[in-house]
Amino acid sequence: MTLPTGVERHDFDGETGLATRGPPVYGEATDGEWRRWDPHRSKLGAMLELGMDTGLVGGETALYLGAAAGTTVSHVADFAGPTYAVEFAPRPVRDLLSAAEERDRLFPLLKDARRPETYAHVVEPVDVVVQDVATRGQARVAALNRQFLGEDGRLLAAIKARSEDVTAAPEDVFEGVLDELREDYAVLSTEPLAPYHEDHLGVVARPR
C-alpha cells in the first residue's frame, strides 16, 4: 500500500514505524523532525499499519470526529490540508489546543459530533471524514456528518464494539453498524484493528 505524501517509515530505537513531520504531542519517539505515529495509540495509524487502502494521498481537507487530546488528529494535520478537529469534552480540548498552537492547519472545535449543525457554518466541504467517536450510534454520527463529504470523499471510521453494546459479540455489533452505515455509504473495505486495538473494526467507505 502506498502511504500518503507526508507519511514515511523511519527507524525508532531499532524498530521501523510510521512517522509524520511535526512537533511531538504525546511523548512519542522522534527522529529529527519526524515523530512516530504509534498504531497502539491511534486507530487511523493502525489502519495504515495494517495496510488498509484508505485513499489518503496527502493534502486532503479533513474533518476529524472525536479528536480527544489530539493524538491522531495532530498526525493528520501534519500531512493533510486544513483539518477540523471536533471534540465534545472540555478537558481533552485543552491538550488539543496545545497541539494546534504549532500547527496552523489544525482547527479545534469544542462541539458534539452528533450535532453537526453547530459547526456546519465553520467547516468547509472536506475530502475525508475520520470518525473516532466512542459513543452509541456510531453509524448515525457518520450519517449526520455525510453532508460535509463530496461525492469522491472518504469516510475512515473506527467502529468500537463496546461503545455500542458491551454484552453483544463484537462481530454481531460490527454487522449491525455496517448495515446501518450502508444506508448512506458504500462500504469499500473493513479490517479488524487487532492486535493494536481489540474489538475495533476499521472501515473505509464513500458516500452514496
* Residue 27 belongs to a domain: no
* Residue 135 belongs to a domain: yes
* Residue 77 belongs to a domain: yes
- Overall number of domains in the chain: 1
* Residue 21 belongs to a domain: no
CA pair distance 202, 189, nearest whole angstrom: 8
* Residue 143 belongs to a domain: yes
* Residue 33 belongs to a domain: no
Handedness of CA 156, 84, 68, 35 (dihedral sign): positive
* Residue 162 belongs to a domain: yes
CA pair distance 54, 40, nearest whole angstrom: 18
Query: 87-132: per-residue pLDDT in tens?
Result: 999 999 999 999 999 999 999 999 999 999 999 999 999 999 999 9
CATH value at residue 81: 3.40.50.150
In which domain, by residue range, is 53 found? 42-207
Query: 5-61: per-residue pLDDT in tens?
Result: 999 999 998 999 999 999 999 999 999 999 999 999 999 999 999 999 999 999 999
- Position of cell 459479540? 169
- Hey, which residues does 18 pair with through a beta bridge? 9
